[in-house]
Amino acid sequence: MCGILGLLLHDPTLDAASEICEGLALLQHRGQDACGIVTCGPKGRFYQCKANGMVRDVFDAAGVSRLVGGMGVGHVRYPTAGSSNHAEAQPFYVNSPYGIVMAHNGNLINTSSLLHFMDAVAHRHINTTSDSELLLNIFADNLQKTGKVRINEEDIFTAIRGLMGQVKGAYACVAMLAGFGIIAFRDPNGIRPLGMGSRKALGEGNGKDWLFASESVVADASNFHDWEDVKPGEAVIITRSGVSRRQVSPPATFAPDIFEYVYFARPDSVLDGVSVYRSRMAMGDALAVEVERVLKEHNLTVDVVIPVPDTSRVAALNLAQKLKLPYREGFIKNRYVGRTFIMPGQQMRRKNVRRKLNAMALEFADKNVLIVDDSIVRGTTSKEIVQMAKDVGAKKVIVASCAPPIRHVNVYGIDMPSRTELVAHNRSETDIAAAIGADLVIFQTLPDLIASVRSFNPAIPAFDCSVFTGEYVTGGVDEEYLAALECLRADNVKQRMELGGLGTMEGKGGGAVRHDGARVEESREIAPGCSGPMNGADSTVGLHNSWSLS
């Protein structure tokens, strides 16, 4: 899961970098591994700064001042597969044709066939394991087919139409053509979020400034208005001369990822017409009904409702109000530790839970406590939290999850690795409770979760609920594919990759290599994620990178 952003200022004498940097900080929750900005200045020259780390660490005043130009693209990265080293930041760049920069959020599922096409037909070298670089080169190849010295909007729409006919999976993209403008497009199922807004131009002129972003909160903070979502299968091209929009892909089932509403998105964002905050309130109301039913079945009572900060607070408060129970902030959060779900490595996640949260004994001692969390994924955090509650004197600890049991991997850009690492895989609710040390675990039902979100936009026909159901909206995902994917994503494999002992792809169009040296069948489609080494991280390759270790 990543955050993407594109900004075009109507006045070309102004620099966009500082606003892009501020926008990326607002999207930091979507990725804390690496970040980057590329801007376009006079004569179509690109300027870039990107590195491993948080936005506040990568972009200082001097670095931002070197990012010249009134339009740019930014990215915050959270790895799905691949290692987590300095060279993996986006946006990506390719010089031919025309000079293109792209930031991508999502995951492709047909990378093997695309790599073969790049090698055998397009004759383009893919230098990394990243499907984002691959996606950029598919776009570039389609643009190359125009054969023109200068292209127009019609050529770009044609190229994106060609791209959507070739790639499968989830992708929300913001691109920039040197000296031309910014471009956004979204996969035909609309799995990953992307929207746009405008405001009266800063500086001179009567035109408009334009913004693309993963979440509407960026528009709110920068005074952009008229926020609307990029439609599934739609492409939008913005230049200083105007805006062009076109549906370039045939209709498909619109199915945004429901986990955005459960966990990833900020509560003050609106995605596809649904307030994340309101949807979480509804989740709490629905979960309250299920909690009441299950507690009666087990003849249990609860003294207090305590949320796991921060994501579950909204739902927990509504649940407590509906059940007429006290709501208390029993866990105090250290805000300077990252989100444990998106930390690479199981050991790191476990170690950071107690650094991140502290249980207050006065809210737990001698009480039956209902702990509300947004979801239970690996169970690492939940187990530590339950133990913390018992350590400070809780009599019974009941855990309620706003999401159903997560039993399947995500192939569209969320790091839910091997199924065996998911605490709910092949386990009953009783077994899950035992695994995390709780007296009882209560899950939201899937129909209630869907209804909680859809109630705010009935026009959404479906949601991607694959982590709960194992049904993948794009098709093309079978057991063999999942087995190969799990080899790439398992935590122990990631650690080996960070030590340089594993490559996810061997040569051009090759299969993956497992840590034991066995070769994954080359015909299978491996989805490395919108991660992987970044072209041009070193100033001697591609664009000069203004970020420095010194």
For residue 324, the tally of other CB atoms under 10 A from its CB is: 7
Paired with 210 in beta bridges are 8, 198
Find the catalytic residue in 2, 35, 40, 173: 2
**Peptide bond connecting 42 to the previous residue in cis, omega within 30 degrees of 0:** no
| Buried b / exposed e along 281-303 (16+ C-beta atoms within 10 A) | bbbbbbbbebbeebbeeeeeebb
Kindly write down the DSSP assignment for every residue of 396-433, as one continuous string: EEEEEESS----S---SS-----GGGSTTTT--HHHHH
Both structure tokens of 515 = 């840590």
Cα separation, 527 vs 132, whole angstroms: 11
Residue 548: exposure state from Cβ atoms within 10 A (0-12, 13-18, ≥19): exposed
Determine which helix (DSSP H) or strand (DSSP E) holds 391, and give its type and residue range.
helix 380-391
Secondary structure of 434-491 as H, E, C letters: HHHCCCEEEECCHHHHHHHHHCCCCCCCCCECHHHHCCCCCCCCCHHHHHHHHHHHCH
Please confirm, yes or no, whether 40 is among the known catalytic residues.
no
Cα separation, 373 vs 3, whole angstroms: 23
Task: Give yes or no for a contact between 443 and 405, defined as CB atoms under 8 angstroms apart.
Answer: yes
Both structure tokens of 274 = 């649904």
Give SS3 for 242: strand
Cα separation, 129 vs 506, whole angstroms: 9
- Residue found under tokens 């004569």: 43
Residue whose C-alpha is closest to residue 157's, from 146, 169, 168: 146
Both structure tokens of 328 = 């208390």
Cα separation, 177 vs 330, whole angstroms: 50
Cα separation, 271 vs 105, whole angstroms: 15
Determine which helix (DSSP H) or strand (DSSP E) holds 346, and give its type and residue range.
helix 346-356
Cα separation, 153 vs 243, whole angstroms: 10
Q: What type of residue sits at position 43?
A: K
* Pairing assessment for the beta strands 71-77 and 3-8 based on DSSP bridges: antiparallel
| Buried b / exposed e along 183-205 (16+ C-beta atoms within 10 A) | bbbbbbbbbbbbbbbbbebeeee
Cα separation, 143 vs 235, whole angstroms: 14
Active-site annotation, residues: 2
